């Protein structure tokens, strides 16, 4: 008797299952099928062995670019019935990568000390926690997106003093009877799956809705990218704490993260100027949409490109004709600067032009870590 449609569907999922890229329900269905179908079980074993050969022995995850290429090839052969929006793809990829890092952790790794870092004003700040505490932090801040989408808030009945990422995290940590343990992985991962499913089902128009962060707000598509960025940055923190290697995101996703940071820089620069942390504008403010003094930000390597950052007003237009400074950085290094992990004075590989403008932009980039 020829295989039925259900068999064909489950067989088509074997590649994604071998990469641990199936949704939980799909993974359960595949594994149940493997218990009764010898040919598929043999094929699944062959695919899992092939995945193992693709990985470096010391790494817990595939290279981001390889994972992206394999998934794209699978999706070309079997397009998803409900695709993930492009603006949520980075979050989907980075949460999957972090989950792959966590999957073999023992109790010792979950309690390994981690130091969260950021810039407050012009000063480096940090907060000590554990690997489990970092995952709790990601879950509570991702909860801002969940609440905006009408989903359950991971804080439950806990009420932070202010609805900011840092206050939400501190409130969660304080309310816990014991420090977070490995048990936080399940709720965090289930929430990330729910976020992806929800934005996929509601369609691309959802990306224009707003996610409040307490002191500011972002459109949903930028908030999902921000959460992908934070997931990668804190995955690096975790990997460093347990002495595992961890690669930057795939080039396309890294480019999107750099672009988000570059778009936020003029607003942060203006905020710092109002608080006396950046040089005042020496002439009248540039009208909205008009060209003004600009810094050319050149990002090299994976995720690279060029951005013209307006210096005199967040509403001004970046202009090559009005360029007064040029800064060149590697893409991953720029993102680490924006995460508060690299001192601004040590960040730029190449600098040319107005030194004051360069300083202001580099410190504004580091200040993104507190947003």
Question: 65-78 pLDDT, tens per residue?
Answer: 555 566 556 545 55
Residue 68: the pLDDT is: 59
User: Chain-wide mean pLDDT for the chain?
Assistant: 87
Q: Is the pLDDT of residue 158 over 50?
A: yes
> Is 253's pLDDT higher than 80?
yes
Give me the percent of the chain exceeding a pLDDT of 70.
87
Is the Cβ–Cβ distance between 281 and 229 less than 8 Å?
A: no
Biggest CA–CA distance in the chain, Å, is 82
Given pLDDT bands bounded at 50, 70 and 90, which one contains residue 17?
confident
- In contact, 275 and 268? CB cutoff 8 Å: no
pLDDT at 111 over 50: yes
- The reported pTM is 0.78
Taking residues 19-27, what's their average pLDDT? 74
Q: What's residue 76's pLDDT? A: 58
Find the mean pLDDT for residues 165-182.
92
Residue 59 has pLDDT above 60, yes or no: no
Please determine, for residue 80, whether its predicted confidence score (pLDDT) is greater than 60. Answer: no
What are phi and psi for residue 190, nearest 5 degrees? -65, -40
pLDDT band at 56; cut points 50, 70, 90: very low
Q: In this model, does residue 334 exceed pLDDT 50? A: yes
Other Cβ atoms less than 10 A from the Cβ of 273: the count is 18
Cα separation, 343 vs 326, whole angstroms = 18
pLDDT band at 242 (very low <50, low <70, confident <90, very high): very high
């Amino acid at each position: 008797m020829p295989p039925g449609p259900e068999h064909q569907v489950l067989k088509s999922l074997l590649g994604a299952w071998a990469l641990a890229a199936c949704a939980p329900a799909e993974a359960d269905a595949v594994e149940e099928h493997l218990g009764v179908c010898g040919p598929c079980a043999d094929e699944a074993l062959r695919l899992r062995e092939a995945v193992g050969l693709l990985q470096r022995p010391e790494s817990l995850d595939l290279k981001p670019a390889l994972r992206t290429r394999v998934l794209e090839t699978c999706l070309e052969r079997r397009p998803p019935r409900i695709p993930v929006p492009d603006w949520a793809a980075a979050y989907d990829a980075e949460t999957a990568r972090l989950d792959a890092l966590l999957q073999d952790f023992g109790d010792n790794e979950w309690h390994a000390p981690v130091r969260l870092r950021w810039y407050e004003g012009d000063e480096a700040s940090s907060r000590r926690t554990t690997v489990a505490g970092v995952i709790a932090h990601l879950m509570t801040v991702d909860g801002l997106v969940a609440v905006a989408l009408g989903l359950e808030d991971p804080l439950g009945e806990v009420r932070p003093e202010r609805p900011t990422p840092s206050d939400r995290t501190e409130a969660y940590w304080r309310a816990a009877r014991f420090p977070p343990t490995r048990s936080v992985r399940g709720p965090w991962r289930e929430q990330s799956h729910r976020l992806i499913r929800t934005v996929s089902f509601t369609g691309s128009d959802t990306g224009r809705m707003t996610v409040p962060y307490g002191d500011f707000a972002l459109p949903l598509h930028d908030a999902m990218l921000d959460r992908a960025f934070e997931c990668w940055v804190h995955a690096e923190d975790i990997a460093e704490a347990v002495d595992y290697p961890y690669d930057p995101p795939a080039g396309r996703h890294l480019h999107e993260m750099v672009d988000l940071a570059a778009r936020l820089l003029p607003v942060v620069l203006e905020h710092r100027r109002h608080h006396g942390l950046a040089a005042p504008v020496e002439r009248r403010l540039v009208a909205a949409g008009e060209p003004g003094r600009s810094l050319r930000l050149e990002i090299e390597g994976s995720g690279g490109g060029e951005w013209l950052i307006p210096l005199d007003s967040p509403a001004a237009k970046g202009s090559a004709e009005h360029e007064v400074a040029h800064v060149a950085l590697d893409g991953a290094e720029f993102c680490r600067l924006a995460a508060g992990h690299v001192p601004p004075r040590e960040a730029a590989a190449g600098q040319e032009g107005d030194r004051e403008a360069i300083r202001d932009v580099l410190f504004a980039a580091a200040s993104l870590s507190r947003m």
